[in-house]
């Protein structure tokens, strides 16, 4: 079985896996980083969103082989205590219901604000539309992103 060197949350890992194994399963099953969620496995829900080199990516759609020498960030890598501005915004707006989609939502928002500190309402809407929420927390997600924008630009 081939082995791969991965940089996840600023830590180096070497994993042995089939080269077509999606990053999602490497994270969840091999590295025990279960904060990244499995929803559909077919690029429909966004629950598996992680950040690779600054971009929000569906981890279920990226094979492990394509992630070597890239900087991968998962929800566990944002902060230990929820102190990342986006997590704080989420906390303030009390976003989650079941919470299952939220790591993915948060990662998409982090990637968005990482590129653009002041995105327009339309940009926010279109970027965030990559993530579904079965509980329907969209209105609070919008609020949370506004709180995060205030925090970042403070």
List residues binding ligand FES (CB under 6 A).
38-41, 43-48, 58, 60, 96-102, 133-135, 137
Least gap, CB of 15 to other proteins (angstroms)? 12
Least gap, CB of 130 to other proteins (angstroms)? 14
What is the per-residue DSSP string for 114-144? HH-SS--HHHHHHHHTTS--TT--HHHHHHH
Q: Which does 48 bind (CB under 5 to 8 A by kind): ligand FES, other proteins, none?
A: ligand FES
Q: Identify which of residues 109 and 120 has a Cβ nearer to other proteins in the complex.
A: 109
Whose tokens are 């279920």? That residue is 60
Q: Identify which of residues 120 and 136 has a Cβ nearer to other proteins in the complex.
A: 136
Least gap, CB of 30 to other proteins (angstroms)? 8
Least gap, CB of 149 to other proteins (angstroms)? 17
Q: Identify which of residues 15 and 133 has a Cβ nearer to ligand FES in the complex.
A: 133
Give contact residues for other proteins (rule: CB under 8 A): 1, 18, 20-22, 25, 28-29, 32-39, 41, 45, 47, 74-76, 78-82, 87, 90-91, 94, 96-103, 106, 132-135
Strand segments (E) across 36-128 = 49-52, 55-58, 71-73
User: What are the distances in angstroms from CA 80 to CA 54, 61, 87, 96, 152?
Assistant: 20, 27, 11, 18, 19
Residues 6+ apart with CB under 8 A from 148: 85, 86, 88, 89, 90, 109, 113
Least gap, CB of 153 to ligand FES (angstroms)? 27
Q: Which two tokens stand for residue 3?
A: 């082995």
């Amino acid at each position: 079985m081939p082995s791969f060197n991965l940089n996840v949350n600023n830590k180096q890992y070497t994993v042995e896996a089939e080269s077509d194994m999606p990053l999602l399963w490497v994270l969840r099953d091999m590295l025990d980083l279960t904060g990244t969620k499995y929803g559909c496995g077919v690029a429909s829900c966004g629950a598996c969103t992680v950040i690779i080199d600054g971009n929000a990516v569906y981890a279920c759609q990226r094979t492990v082989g394509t992630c070597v020498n890239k900087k991968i960030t998962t929800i566990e890598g944002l902060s230990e205590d929820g102190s990342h501005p986006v997590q704080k915004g989420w906390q303030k707006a009390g976003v989650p219901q079941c919470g299952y989609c939220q790591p993915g939502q948060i990662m998409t928002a982090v990637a968005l604000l990482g590129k653009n500190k002041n995105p327009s309402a339309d940009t926010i809407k279109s970027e965030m539309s990559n993530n579904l929420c079965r509980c329907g927390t969209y209105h609070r997600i919008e609020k949370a992103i506004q709180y995060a924008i205030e925090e970042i630009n403070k």
